[in-house]
Structure 1
Amino acid sequence: MGSKLTVILPALLLALPLFLLGGCGCGFDCNSTSDSDDTALLTLGLSDSLPEDLQQVSLEVESISFKRTGEDDVIVETFTINGKDVPTFSIDLLKYPGTEQLLVIEDKEMEPGSYNEVSIQVNVESLGDSYVQEKASGVLKQLTVAGGKLTLPGLVLAPGNQEFTVEFGLAQALQLQASEETYLLTTNGIRMENNLTDATLSGLVDSTLFDTVEPCRAKTEPEAGNRVYLYKGIDIAKENLADVFTTGSTVPAPEKAIAPFAVATVLQNSPSVDWEYDFGYLPAGDYTLAFSCDSEDDDPVQYNDIPMPLPETQLYRITLTQSQKAVCNLTADATCK
């Protein structure tokens, strides 16, 4: 029997979700419930964390392909945006933070089973197609994707409703190139998450943490450079917690250094003026959370030796259960109130 596919795109987390990944916040949700006729209904979404110094991160998507071994690819070239069918669509990932999403594929029939790869074809031919707008200058810069395609791990469609979120961690995925004229979007920090079982983690952040210790006390803008880093595992030694880096770093990281699984920027909630962070789509499990007030220069590739956590007390051990909406408020006494 067939299955139906719904694709939702959420926005970036800054640390940014984008479309269908195998993850995407720029994230995808995947919920599965039983259905008597063996039809699978897939919902895909994008989610992300925002880069603090950017105004827009805009992608023009031409197609999304689902690959199966020994079977023809399922290629989606018509999208449903705000109830209308369109051949392509553009999305500003920064407009979909946390758990917010943009629906792009709805009730597409697909065969249940394993899809080993998901590919998002992005139009990067010219500046007007896919671009990044920097906040301070307002300048538009070309956004590039290697080969014009984001290739993500696949997913398994069971009969019934399927909701996946592709979560984009822009703090990990988006790189300003050496020429400083273009940005490269990679699949680092992009993951596909199952919305049926995923947890969320959010909380308020005490603003006194922004500039009470060195070197943060010297910041001219205390509200800048504040991030929350999330690591997989609950027994990680503090000295092994590292900033964002990849194997491409030209600065050697310590042998036991662990890069974060996800990163969230601390942002001000405009109605309440509270400072808060938000991880929209996380698999259940054990985590270590660390706050840093000195993350402004954290490069997505290079190891920067940023002290973690900062202040030193801002370390939290957290266990997330399936579908839990967890709250951990970061306070001066580090009690996760």
Structure 2
Amino acid sequence: MKKLLLATAISATLLTGCGGSSDDNNEPMTAQFTLGVSDAPVSNVKAVWVAFDSIIINAADGERPTFETRTAEGEPVMVNLMEFTGSDVFGLINDEVVAPGEYQWLRANIVNGDEANIEMTSHVVYNDDTVAPLVVNRKNNDGIGEIQINDFTLAVGENEFVLEFDLKKSLVDPSNSEEVNLKPTGIRLENLAEVEDIEGTVSETLMANCETDNLDIAPETGAFGHAVYLYSGDVVEPKDLYVDGEVSPADAPIATANVVMNEETGMNEFEIGFVAAGSYKLAYTCAAHIDDAEVLDEAVTLYSIQDVTVVAGEDANVTFDIAE
């Protein structure tokens, strides 16, 4: 069961809506729309604060239901994505009534980072506690950024969706700018009724072997980047995180997850949330610390790859270990 954590301070107001069809008793047929956010974390920051101003969905008939995501004081809702990883979800809007049917896009309006008001606008906090504005680019220079996801369907009845932010693919820190860019290429919209989780462990021996075999890319400071990457099952030669402009290549990861030591179990664990049923490849690497989504880097090697099948109604469990 996915964990939908709803913030009581949110004011999610339906400003405009579109009418639905009717059943045999002339009662309107409606969809209840719930939306949350979650993320796959990145290793060089401790907080990624995103200020959500509103959510707009665009119906095929042109109607645009709009939902404000604001606190009781009227401020944009601030979400630290790093606190909602794996299958944990922060609820933005809950059970809003809209018409069922095909929708052309969903757009999240984000308040871009502003150094003059950094704590109430989108920003990144690095591990050394330095802070940088977080910006989503769009044509209008009005302080609002847009994250748009195209083509989804709302069925009659309850619909629970999540915007999944893969920060390894989404966060870009340009060398010539004091701002950090949040790119929509690493963001997915998933229907919780149609997805499962992939959970697993990586053995200490495999991780140590990977570090030994990759001493040429050992970090000067800090640790190796231990992560798992998820690929479509028909990818023959999986590649690194490279995103070509606004398009993620077919052989690039669909999603990623860090490998993290669970102090209670003593195991090195990972979790990739919101994966649709189907066949995939899952790869472990210790080179995530040098994997830049803006660069196609041959030095990023995938140390162990295995096939995994996700079955509807079941979470998948995967173990990476040395060969018997």
Q: TM-score range by the shorter chain?
A: 0.7 to 0.9
Query: RMSD value over aligned CA atoms?
Result: 2.5
Q: Tell me the alpha carbon deviations over residues 278-319 of structure 1, each in whole angstroms, 9 at most, x when there is no partner.
A: 001111111011111122110012101135322xxx211111
Q: SS in structure 2 opposite 1:259?
A: coil
Amino acid at match of 2:51: E
Q: Tell me the alpha carbon deviations over residues 198-228 of structure 1, each in whole angstroms, 9 at most, x when there is no partner.
A: 1210101112222324214874679531111
Q: Tell me the alpha carbon deviations over residues 63-103 of structure 1, each in whole angstroms, 9 at most, x when there is no partner.
A: 11011233331111145x7xx68552000000001010111
Q: Is the 8 A contact 2:229 2:284 kept in 1?
A: yes
Q: Tell me the alpha carbon deviations over residues 121-156 of structure 1, each in whole angstroms, 9 at most, x when there is no partner.
A: 111151311100110x21000101012111112321
Displacement of 1:50? 0.8
Q: Is the 8 A contact 2:161 2:192 kept in 1?
A: yes
- Aligned ranges 1:190-269 → 2 under 5 Å: 190-212=187-209, 213-216=212-215, 219=218, 224-234=224-234, 236-237=235-236, 240-248=237-245, 258-269=251-262
List 4+ stretches of structure 1 deviating above 4 A.
84-87, 220-223
Q: SS in structure 1 opposite 2:253?
A: coil
Q: Is the 8 A contact 1:216 1:294 kept in 2?
A: no
Indicate the structure with greater helix content. 2
Per the alignment, residue 316 of structure 1 pairs with: 306
Which ranges of structure 1 fall in alignment gaps of 5 or more residues? 1-7, 11-35, 250-255
- Aligned ranges 1:280-299 → 2 under 5 Å: 280-299=273-292
Per the alignment, residue 80 of structure 2 pairs with: 92
TM-score (norm 1): 0.78
Q: Which moved more, 1:70-79 or 1:283-292?
A: 70-79
Displacement of 1:257? 8.0
Q: Is the 8 A contact 1:248 1:302 kept in 2?
A: no
Q: SS in structure 1 opposite 2:292?
A: coil
Alpha-carbon spacing, 1:324–1:85, altered in 2? closer, same or farther (3 Å): farther
Q: Is the 8 A contact 2:287 2:301 kept in 1?
A: no
1:132 aligns with 2:120: no
1:109 aligns with 2:97: yes
Amino acid at match of 1:329: T
Per the alignment, residue 175 of structure 1 pairs with: 172
Q: Is the 8 A contact 1:62 1:121 kept in 2?
A: yes
Q: Which structure is larger by alpha-carbon Rg, 1 or 2? A: 2
Higher relative contact order (CA 8 A, sep 6+): 1
Count of residues in correspondence between the two structures: 286
Alpha-carbon spacing, 1:326–1:37, altered in 2? closer, same or farther (3 Å): farther
Which ranges of structure 2 fall in alignment gaps of 5 or more residues? 7-26, 139-144
Q: Is the 8 A contact 1:117 1:154 kept in 2?
A: yes
Task: Tell me, in whole angstroms, the C-alpha distance in 1 between the residues paired with 2:73 and 2:63.
Answer: 24
Percent identity over the alignment is 25
Q: Is the 8 A contact 2:217 2:287 kept in 1?
A: no
